[in-house]
Amino acid sequence: MSTPTHHLPFHELPHRSAPSLDLLQGTRVLDLTSSIAGPYAGQLLADMGATVVKIEKPGSGDDARAWGPPFLHGESLWFLSVNRGKHSVTLDIASPQGQALLHELVGKADVVLLNLVARAQRKLKLDSTTLRAINPRLVHVSLTGFGLQGPRADLPCYDLIAEGYSGVMDLTGEAETPPQKVGTPAADMLAGHDAAMAVLAALLRRERDGQGCDIDVAMVESMSRFMSPRVLPYLGSGELSRRTGGRDSVIAIYQVFGTADEPMTLGLGNDAIWRRFWEAVGQPDVAANPAYGSNAQRRENRSEIVQAIAAVLREKPRAHWLQLLGAARVPAGPIHRLDELAQDEALQAAGLLYRTDGPDGPGSQIPQLGLGIRFDGRTEGTQMPPPRLGAHTEQILTSWIEREPSQIEQLRAQRVI
């Protein structure tokens, strides 16, 4: 399925073309993962300059390639969001020939990313013991729902499942509504980030001692660690937080408020900001009230303070308040819809939101949301868009393990690739 050629929102984004970063230049990564978490880890490494080869099932590829609609140029937009900077090689790793080829590639790699449980890794001869016997310097990364050990290690897991385990769903939404999933695959993205961060640490250690590393990332644990600012207060006090629509922060005033038109966010995180807010809105006497002198006192009187702030902010539109409070250095902001986020001029100017040439060249431009990290003023390159399935099979088999064209054609005829 392809997207109609009519004008799409990303056509308004600035076009960007930039060379790759070189921080991980020369680092070879085999990405055998699918869906979101593992591919995101691979994309982060590619963004920093690693050569990332995505190993996919012949015919179908990464599960996320089928996640849609929406599709663009025949590709899932979910897939396009976490797979830039990679080469795609199709390989049947369940076949003896496919396993043998993969093991040859492992011998040339620095990192292998997997999202298979331990049982499946052993069955496919992808476990750390097998692969590090081939390449002792290998960084072997397992990114699963529950980790490689323990009573739940063999269970399947998606982002939704991990969010439920972590407690974040119980704290998301209004008190009178059922638990809600976070509006993005938070556990996937956090675990993928953890995997990439762990790879960097392992590669740094390898520079010192020459040894590879076994990395075990569990989505449930990554997502649960994300909840630390909620879990530790419960463990240390016994006070159980429940969902309140975000109106129970440890900061007394840290929530959404209505205005004369659109809602806004407001965070009065310390005494100086508290005073600046009331001075900005023309009520310095409230800031001077000794009953509100500390955050603890403001929490005790939160209800009446919230009512007072709500009454003030309802008087004028959001744009007025954002300009006024910005000038006073009071943390406040809009609540963007996705279309408003996409039109954010500051983010576009920063290079975070852009369009670039797709896998089929200038005629297949695609939107991208960038790394958002700059190294010496530069961020991720755009020369390697998310790949078509198997687009680089011949290139990688030729350059990495010196297969001849005739051998590659034979493998293709045998449906190994």
What are residue 76's DSSP bridge partners?
71
Q: Are 172 and 181 in contact (CB under 8 A)?
A: yes
- Residue of 52, 406, 342, 6 lying closest to 196 (CA atoms): 52
Element (H, E) at 214: strand 213-218
Active site residue 31: no
For residues 76 and 68, the answer to whether their CB atoms sit within 8 Å is yes
Peptide bond into 290 cis (omega under 30): no
Q: Which residues in 209-219 are b (16+ Cβ under 10 Å) and which e?
A: eeebbbbbbbb
Q: Which amino acid is at 29?
A: V
147, 186, 242: which is closest to 36 by C-alpha? 186
Residue 329 has a CB neighbour count (10 Å cut-off) of 11
∠ CA 180-181-187, rounded to 5°: 150
Residue 342 and residue 353 in contact, taking contact as beta carbons nearer than 8 Å = yes
Q: How far is CA 310 from the centre of its chain?
A: 34
Q: Pick the catalytic residue: 188, 214, 248, 357? A: 188
Which residues are part of the catalytic machinery?
188
